């Protein structure tokens, strides 16, 4: 479990620290306070062993990785001089990890313009024509020395990128991201097949009844498409069922898939009717605890937070046992920089009940 996180120069984040992370972490804040960027940073750090993950992170923003210019979108102010650094402390083995991403300036040319007889280079502004990024991952476990491994992403022309593997096997945390849009999750069929084989699909179906009690079965046909049995004449492709069911299915699949790892959920409320929010929270809290999954959840929806607060005080199902796991971080822009304000359950609950704005 990640216990602290420090992010430098990633997307809109110049410098941000989140301390004392819990098993369930809520990220709250107004628009443009980098909540999604924090989620992306967690994902990048966890998946640092596969540098092509930058491509995936771009896709969540509808950005593509096709030209060399696209590489700079992950850098603060789109400036290569702002080298990315994401640090985390992990409770398992006291693991300390650092991910650093910087431009590989070997063989690069600076954008230059000629005014009169003087050549003006803007390399100091970090706008070099960078074709390659160096990805350095360093880690240290309890009683061991700091180790490092490097990888590389290089634009090879014709909209192609070459991803080199890390020079060493690096410790990674299995992380799954559930993006804010309700779409077909990556590798959905394979993940579902795994659940069917391990006989866990019935549990998922019983939870999915929260949003549609008609659901009888869910299956993969010909290994290519997911169908849902709603008790009508034909099976229905998953894409044709309601947003709430698809959203909950994606979240559950992510949690089941990420045992002992991390699930990252952007705008958790998307697709859900308010009447099912409490049941959704119960399902998310219970399943994530059962599979020892750490959650990072972004939202700015008050109703969602009120439901979580009331669920955490339910006496049945022992829901109050989750209180100690919950942290809420309000991200605010202070003096042109981002600052996080941490609330434990007691403070979170007081703020919600007193109508104090923490979103």
Partner 1 sequence: MIRAYVEGNDKMLIQALFIVRLGLDSSEFIIEELGGGLSSLLKLPQKLKENIDSGEKVVVILDSDNPPHAGFIQVRDSLNSFKVDNNLEFDYFLLPNHNDDGNLENLLELIINDSHEALFSCFDEYVNCLTQNNTGHFHLPVKKTKIYAYVDTLTPINQKKALKNGNYQFENSHYWNLQSPQLNGLVELLKRQLEE
Shortest spacing between CB 354 and partner 1, in angstroms: 5
Query: Token digits for 193?
Result: 């097949």
Q: How far is CA 225 from the centre of its chain?
A: 25
For the CB of residue 356, give the shortest distance to partner 1 in the complex, in Å. 6
* Euclidean distance between CA atoms 65 and 55, whole angstroms: 6
Between residues 9 and 328, which has the closer beta carbon with respect to partner 1? Answer: 328
Q: Which residue of 111, 313, 321, 350 would you call a contact of partner 1, by CB under 8 A?
A: 350
Which range binds partner 1 by CB under 8 A, 127-135, 152-160, 306-314, 328-336?
A: 328-336
Q: Is 233 in the site for partner 1 (CB under 8 A)?
A: no
CA torsion 87→152→254→183, rounded to 10°?
120
Task: Tell me if 201 sits within 8 A of 69, measured CB to CB.
Answer: no
Task: Tell whether residue 310 is a contact of partner 1 (CB under 8 A).
Answer: no
- Determine if 339 is a binding residue for partner 1 (CB under 8 A): yes
- Residue 332 binds partner 1, judged by CB under 8 A: yes
Q: Are 150 and 168 in contact (CB under 8 A)?
A: no
**Residue 134 to residue 106: CA distance in whole angstroms:** 11
Determine if 300 is a binding residue for partner 1 (CB under 8 A).
Answer: no
Shortest distance in whole angstroms from residue 22 CB to partner 1: 15
- Degrees to nearest 5, angle at CA 20 with 14 and 26: 75
Determine which residue in the list 6, 56, 85, 342 makes contact with partner 1, applying CB under 8 A. 342
Taking the least distance from each CB to partner 1, the nearer of 69 and 353 is: 353
Binding region for partner 1 (CB under 8 A) out of 145-153, 174-182, 255-263, 326-334? 326-334
- Strand 2-10 relative to strand 13-18: parallel, antiparallel, unpaired? antiparallel
- Return the structure tokens found at 138: 């360093």
Burial of 339 (0-12, 13-18, 19+ CB in 10 A): middle
Q: Establish if 354 lies at the interface with partner 1 (CB under 8 A).
A: yes
State the residues that interact with partner 1 by CB under 8 A.
330, 332, 334-335, 339, 341-343, 346-347, 350-351, 353-356, 358
């Amino acid at each position: 479990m990640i216990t602290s996180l420090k992010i430098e120069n990633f997307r809109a984040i110049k410098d941000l620290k989140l301390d004392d992370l819990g098993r369930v972490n809520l990220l709250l804040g107004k628009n443009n306070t980098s909540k999604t960027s924090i989620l992306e940073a967690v994902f990048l750090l966890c998946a640092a062993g596969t540098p092509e993950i930058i491509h995936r992170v771009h896709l969540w923003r509808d950005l593509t990785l096709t030209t060399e210019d696209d590489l700079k979108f992950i850098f603060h102010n789109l400036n290569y001089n702002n080298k990315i650094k994401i640090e985390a402390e992990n409770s398992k083995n006291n693991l300390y990890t650092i991910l650093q991403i910087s431009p590989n300036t070997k063989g690069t040319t600076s954008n230059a313009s000629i005014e009169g007889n003087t050549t003006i280079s803007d390399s100091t502004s970090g706008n070099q024509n960078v074709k390659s990024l160096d990805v350095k991952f360093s880690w240290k476990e309890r009683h061991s020395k700091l180790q490092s491994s490097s990888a590389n992403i290089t634009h090879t022309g014709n909209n192609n990128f070459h991803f080199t593997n890390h020079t060493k096997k690096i410790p990674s945390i299995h992380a799954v991201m559930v993006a804010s849009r309700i779409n077909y999750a990556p590798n959905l069929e394979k993940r579902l097949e795994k659940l069917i084989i391990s006989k866990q699909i019935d549990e998922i179906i019983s939870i999915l009844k929260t949003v549609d009690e008609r659901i009888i079965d869910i299956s993969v046909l010909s290994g290519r498409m997911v169908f849902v049995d709603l008790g009508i004449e034909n099976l229905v492709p998953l894409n044709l069922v309601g947003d709430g069911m698809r959203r909950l299915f994606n979240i559950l699949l992510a949690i089941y898939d990420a045992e002992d790892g991390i699930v990252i959920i952007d705008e958790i409320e998307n697709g859900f009717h308010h009447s099912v929010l409490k049941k959704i929270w119960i399902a998310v809290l219970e399943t994530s605890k059962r599979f020892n999954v750490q959650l990072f959840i972004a939202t700015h929806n008050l109703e969602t937070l009120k439901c979580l607060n009331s669920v955490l005080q339910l006496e049945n199902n022992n829901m109050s046992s989750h209180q100690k796991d919950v942290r809420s971080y309000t991200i605010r822009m202070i003096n042109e920089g981002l600052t996080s304000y941490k609330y434990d359950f007691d403070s979170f609950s007081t703020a919600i009940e007193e109508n104090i704005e923490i979103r």
